[in-house]
A and B are shown apart, each in its own frame.
Chain A
């Protein structure tokens, strides 16, 4: 088994095929999209492949240490050009092929006109602990 992170972006990913802002969908299409995402996570829980899923707010800030006795420096809100993560799903699957297959299904979530979004998702393997048997 190997863990993969499926990353969804607010900004920074290549444009989706069905690229219409959500507030330009119909209310029913919004509902259908939300249900698809919920059903997808529920299905992965049933197959024993779901680990975690979270959504992130679009606002935030850069923060860094600024030396002893000084408060951290913050820089925010983010510039319009920043690559912006919207959320993630962590899956634990048997192969890279399975991770790609699931990311493809997630990318097919319905959007405007009830048609698949075809949005680009990032698939990233986790680094693992060193194996017990090394030779």
Chain B
């Protein structure tokens, strides 16, 4: 059975139930139950109309639950037994679900969990495993999130920026665990791009594709990190790069620049260089200037200092770094790199060792320790 197809039907099915008057939280539970039944029953007995099957079963589950609730509370179920067929679900319905699941009243972690379940069709168990928390914890997080948005009207247009931030968070969570969150984020962003014609949605999708294209080259067989300059570019996925670049160009042509298009433009310039030495750093610096202007982000300033170091030499890079907050994660690693380029291996080694101590992940710690070790070994000789 094609589980990806099954999951892609989730938001449409959920939207039908909500349109018919089911409240969001109950409808979402019913759709999950229908998905579980599909996974169990379809391999032996696949339906001709997958979506129709899911709508029928989910609606029945919803009614059963509503009736049980009604009996318990001794009041009538809100839902009609046999609903009118209702309007055919449209792309707009899917879009409304994205808005609801990324509603500003939700914390980022709740919005991520709810989006993966209600829009992505993942089970609570899968989401819990991906984020390395107990299933019961994730179940609570999701049910609280559903309660939080239960009063939000389904027809009000939402904020695209919050949806994009949620999808970006999912993508950035990385590649650990059985569930491929990066691939899931790409799938959900593709689906969003199909429902909403917006240059920043296209920009985010392009950004994801361009980064995903480098995935195979980013880690060595032993699991250690391979920095961009040392990656085997022959292992980059040219199909994904071509798709990302085409999306980006079409988005940029509309002249409504935003942070995701800008980040994608930087990724595209890296993808475009046949070797690290042929990277167009001057243009990359210009895009970082744009990114700093758009977002004011300190991380953008830090990355800009690296690019300036490549475009105008390590001294210029260090001058740019002097304007960045030293408390920023990875600041010391950047300083180490620029000092090494500037011909000061002793300072670089000391900074790499310090950066390793404060590294936010084990893989980065090992990588930075190796850099310090490499320079110290050279000094000792």
- Which A residues contact B (CB, under 8 angstroms)? 21-27, 29-31, 34-35, 38, 55, 57-59
Contact = CB atoms under 8 A, between A and B. Distances in A.
24 contacts: A21-B353, A22-B356, A23-B349, A23-B352, A23-B353, A23-B369, A23-B372, A24-B373, A24-B376, A26-B377, A27-B370, A27-B371, A27-B374, A27-B377, A30-B369, A31-B224, A31-B370, A34-B224, A34-B362, A34-B366, A35-B222, A57-B358, A57-B360, A59-B358
B358 A58 contact: yes
Task: Name the residue in B357, B358, B360 with the highest tally of chain A Cβ atoms < 10 Å from its Cβ.
Answer: B357
A23 B376 contact: yes
B43 interface: no
A35 B371 CA distance: 17
Contacts of A58: 357-358
Interface in B313-370: 349, 352-353, 356-358, 360, 362, 366, 369-370
Task: Name the residue in B223, B352, B362, B369 with the highest tally of chain A Cβ atoms < 10 Å from its Cβ.
Answer: B369
A89 B359 CA distance: 20
Contacts of B366: 30-31, 34
Contact of B373 (A27, A35, A38, A55): A27
Contact of B369 (A22, A38, A59): A22
Given A23-B372, A23-B376, A24-B373, A31 B222 contact: yes
Task: Name the residue in A25, A26, A27 with the highest tally of chain B Cβ atoms < 10 Å from its Cβ.
Answer: A27
Q: Is the interface of B mostly helix, strand, loop or mixed?
A: helix
A29 B357 CA distance: 18
Contacts of B376: 23-24
Contacts of B373: 22-27, 29-30
Given A35-B222, A58-B358, 16 more contacts: A22-B356, A23-B349, A23-B369, A24-B373, A25-B373, A26-B373, A26-B377, A27-B373, A30-B369, A30-B370, A31-B222, A31-B224, A34-B362, A34-B366, A57-B358, A57-B360
A26 B370 CA distance: 7
Contacts of B224: 31, 34
B346 to A, nearest CB: 12
A19 to B, nearest CB: 16
Interface residues of B, number: 20
Contacts of B353: 21, 23
Contacts of A21: 353
A35 B222 CA distance: 7
A24 B375 CA distance: 9
Nearest to B370: A27
A55 B222 contact: no
A35 B366 CA distance: 11
Contacts of B358: 57-59
Contacts of A59: 358
Contacts of A25: 369, 373
A31 B224 CA distance: 8
Contacts of B360: 57
Task: Name the residue in A31, A55, A59 with the highest tally of chain B Cβ atoms < 10 Å from its Cβ.
Answer: A31
Contact of A23 (B222, B356, B362): B356
A29 B373 CA distance: 9
Task: Name the residue in A22, A30, A35 with the highest tally of chain B Cβ atoms < 10 Å from its Cβ.
Answer: A30
Contacts of B356: 22-23
Contacts of A23: 349, 352-353, 356, 369, 372-373, 376
A2 B281 CA distance: 57
Nearest to B374: A27
Contacts of B372: 23
Contacts of A31: 222, 224, 366, 370
A22 B353 CA distance: 9
A58 B358 CA distance: 7
Nearest to A27: B370
B220 to A, nearest CB: 9
Contacts of A26: 373, 377
A38 B360 CA distance: 18
Contacts of B377: 26-27
A109 B245 CA distance: 46
Nearest to A21: B353
Given A31-B222, A34-B224, A55 B362 contact: yes
B224 to A, nearest CB: 6
A26 B369 CA distance: 9
A21 B357 CA distance: 11
Nearest to A25: B373
B358 to A, nearest CB: 7
A22 B377 CA distance: 12
A21 B354 CA distance: 12
Contacts of B357: 58
B219 to A, nearest CB: 13
